[in-house]
Structure 1
Amino acid sequence: MITKNKPWVGMDRQSQRRADAETPHNLFWIIDPQGNFGLRIQTKDNIKFVEEKISLKGIQLIIDNTVANKTDFFLILQNKEDWEIFYTLCDDLIKVVRDNPNGKEMISAIELRLKRWQHLLKQNKHLSLSIEQQMGLFSELMCLKNIVIPKLGVEQSILAWNGPDFDKQDFLLDDAVLEVKSYRTSKGDTVSISSLKQLYSEKESIYLVAYALTASENGTSIEEIAADIRQLIIINGTNYDLDLFESRLIAYGYAPETLNEELKSFIVDHQRVFKVTEEFPRITPQDVKAQITSVKYFVDLSKCSEFEICLEKFLK
């Protein structure tokens, strides 16, 4: 996360400083009577939140509708040591206000954003993703965007994505499961299978979707794919779909507002789909004694061409 200058520097208690002049609404950095940092959003309309009360860890929310034709919305930080992530939250909300000049639309957009932050602030303040975790999330988002959503639609696809639940296959469909794997192109076509159940299911069909990746500055980032999916949801889905997508990103460990380092970008060198049949090389729960509870093994995909299928036949 990039350190920002404190906008509250030089301000006295019970004072405010305009935060943005590009919206019809009033936005102010404030310091309350106790000396706490805060943000004030004042709309030109008298509007009430429609969602249940949102609770943000370490941040007090105050809504004042007492003045006619105005709504004052205050966020007050309880611990000054957390000012950087609080500033990032405030900056995020300022962008939301700037993009939604209509009062009611703005409040609705703020609600969605605050629910994302509600999930986010329950996590550790500063998260990190290993290169392997980044590759895993990148591949699942690529599969979601380019394969699953075009075939099943936004709502069903978001509901089907189980990526953050590492004990389940990545996509659980009505009559099929999808397991998504990634590997470095430079290290050969070998994928790691980390449990007995990843390539096992009682459903009719099991598919393995594999991505060969190369880290490159000229590649695509996780945030770029996530932004594309958000746009698809906005156009074709619902607020619930968007909220579910955001919460699952956070559950995965992806929260760009709190990451300590820049994420990698990747080039997809190969994308392959395999039908996991009885003959596919795998280890299932029936293959091992009950006393064995954990198994990790590797599959060489270069020797699995007989199980490969084309995308046109996938999920039909």
Structure 2
Amino acid sequence: MMSLKKILKIMEMTKIESIWLGLESDNFSHSGLLYKRYSAEVLPDIFIALKAPEKLRCIAFRISIGFSFDENQWNKLKDIKIETLPDDRDNTKKFLLILLLNKQHKDIFSTLCEDLIFGVSDVSTEQTLVEKLLERLVKWQSLFEKVGKQGLSDEAQRGLYGEIYFLRFFLNNTSDKNHCLKSWLGPENSIQDFQYSNWAVEVKTTHGNNHQKIHITSERQLDDSIIEKIFLYHLSLDIRVGNGESLNSLIDEVSELLNDNTMASNLFKLKLLESGFYETHRPFYEERGYTIRQENLYRVSGNFPRITENQIPIGVGDVRYSIVLSESEEWRIDQETLLGEIQ
């Protein structure tokens, strides 16, 4: 009888991962391609596949036999490979394959393939399809290269904790989960951590003795002449080993909040990868816990203490400065006010 733990694990799997596991359990010995259609609701012909006899995981796109592109420009990629195979069932078609060569990256590959499928789900021309596929490969490569690093720095962990802490708050107070995930731009090194339409939220975390002092990394970060409404969300943290909420547990809770929304869940996984958070690094983050010391919200407007782009003399750049938040009380707002502005 299958254990409850195993049943729950299967339920947590992405669709693409479950298809690969099904294909891998097939006792086949022939060479070629073993594949299964991802979904009839996706416009292009997309298949989850294994290339035999190596049993390499891959994603396959069926295109016209006469459609050509330069495969050689991608032959220096590490850990993934691009190639084409004829379709034995239709001599007018061929498969364009993206193969995973390094099994260490299978979790990342699964997330990236899911994101890729969502990205091309309504593409109607082969030219656009192939362009979208190939433009993602450089991004994929950069993500694979980060896996070998020994996890996030202490500062990066605190920053990511703060952003996901705000994301959880946002998700718990809105019905549009996709909107929340799309607004999270911190992993893309955007000017502000959250931005959508005419609003932006910059998240800052502090700890230790200078818990009321935040650092601003550019003259554009708090410049409301660039975007209409800017808010500052500040978390003052106490950090203890074995006490408080870990980065891992926060991420797991947000993942559970997104279980009923495949697109938002997959986007969350992709943004974690872009932030440098990888499943293989989870042991590095397990013991460190965060406790909220203070939680502050400010509307950045008027004479809020800051430096903006129009105040910078010609020839001056790379502006960095600090703000003492105890001097900013008149701009403080509550959570209800913020939610009314960003939904």
Higher fraction of helix: 2
Which stretch of the first structure deviates more once superposed, 124-133 or 288-297?
A: 124-133
Q: 2: distance between equivalents of 1:54 and 1:200?
A: 43
1:254 alignment partner, SS class = coil
Name 1:287's counterpart in structure 2.
311
Equivalent of 1:183 in 196, 202, 206 = 206
Give me the whole-angstrom Cα distance separating, in 2, the residues matched to 1:260 and 1:218. Answer: 16
CA positional deviation for 1:40: 7.5
SS at match of 1:275: strand
Q: Aligned residue for 1:27?
A: none
Secondary structure at the counterpart of residue 150 of structure 1: coil
Aligned length: 245
The Cα offsets for residues 236-266 of structure 1, whole Å up to 9 and x where unpaired, read as x2x2222221111111111132468345321
Hey, what's the Cα distance between the residues in 2 that align with 1:129 and 1:194? Answer: 19
Deviation at 1:295, TM superposition (A): 0.7
| TM-score of the two chains, using structure 1 as the length reference | 0.65
2:206 matches 1:206: no
Q: Is 2:242 the partner of 1:242?
A: no
* Correspondence 1:225 to 2:239: no
The within-5 A match list for 1:1-316 is: 41-42=24-25, 47-50=36-39, 51=46, 54=59, 58=79, 85=104, 89=106, 111-112=110-111, 115=114, 119=140, 122-127=144-149, 128-147=151-170, 149-151=172-174, 153-201=176-224, 202-216=226-240, 217-235=242-260, 237=261, 239-258=262-281, 261-262=284-285, 264-316=288-340
Alpha carbons 2:299, 2:331 under 8 Å: kept: yes
**What SS does the corresponding residue of 1:220 show, helix, strand or coil?**
coil
Displacement of 1:115: 4.6
Q: Deviation string for 1:18-65 (max 9, x for gaps)?
A: xxxx68xxxxxxxxxxxxxxx982169x9444445539953689xxxx
How big is the shift at 1:188? Answer: 3.0
Q: 1:179: how far off?
A: 0.4
Q: 8 Å contact 1:49–1:111 — kept in the other structure?
A: no
Residues 281, 299 of structure 1: 8 Å contact kept: yes
Higher relative contact order, chain-length normalized (CA < 8 Å, sep 6+): 1
CA contact (8 A) 2:245 2:290 kept: yes
SS in 2 for 1:218: coil
Greater CA drift, 286-295 or 47-56 = 47-56
RMSD value, Cα:
3.8
Unpaired runs of 5+ residues, structure 2, are 1-5, 8-21, 28-34, 40-45, 48-57, 61-76, 83-87, 89-98, 117-136
Preserved CA contact (<8 Å) 1:207 1:274: yes
Give the superposition deviation at 1:212.
0.3
Q: Take 2:195 and 2:100, find their aligned partners in 1: how far apart are those partners?
A: 40
Q: 1:268 to 1:313 in 2, by over 3 A?
A: same
Please identify, of 203-212 and 114-123, the stretch whose mean Cα deviation from structure 2 is larger.
114-123
Instruction: Report if aligned partners of 1:273, 1:308 keep a CA contact under 8 Å in 2.
Output: yes
> CA 1:299 to 1:262, structure 2 compared with 1: closer, same or farther past 3 Å?
same
Contact 1:126 1:258 in 2 (8 A): no
Structure-2 change in CA distance of 1:233 and 1:290 (3 Å): farther
Output the CA distance in 2 between the equivalents of 1:137 and 1:200. Answer: 23
Q: Among the aligned pairs, what percent are the same residue?
A: 22
| Structure 2 CA distance for aligned equivalents of residues 152 and 177 of structure 1 | 19
Q: Which consecutive aligned stretches of 4+ in structure 1 deviate over 6 angstroms post-superposition?
A: none
Is the Cα contact below 8 Å between 1:126 and 1:259 reproduced in 2? no
- Give me the whole-angstrom Cα distance separating, in 2, the residues matched to 1:173 and 1:198: 15
In structure 2, the CA distance between the partners of 1:150 and 1:310, relative to structure 1 (3 Å rule), is same
Which moved further from structure 2: 264-273 or 112-121?
112-121
Q: Amino acid of the residue matched to residue 327 of structure 2?
A: K
TM-score (norm 2): 0.61
8 A contact 1:126–1:260 mirrored in 2: no
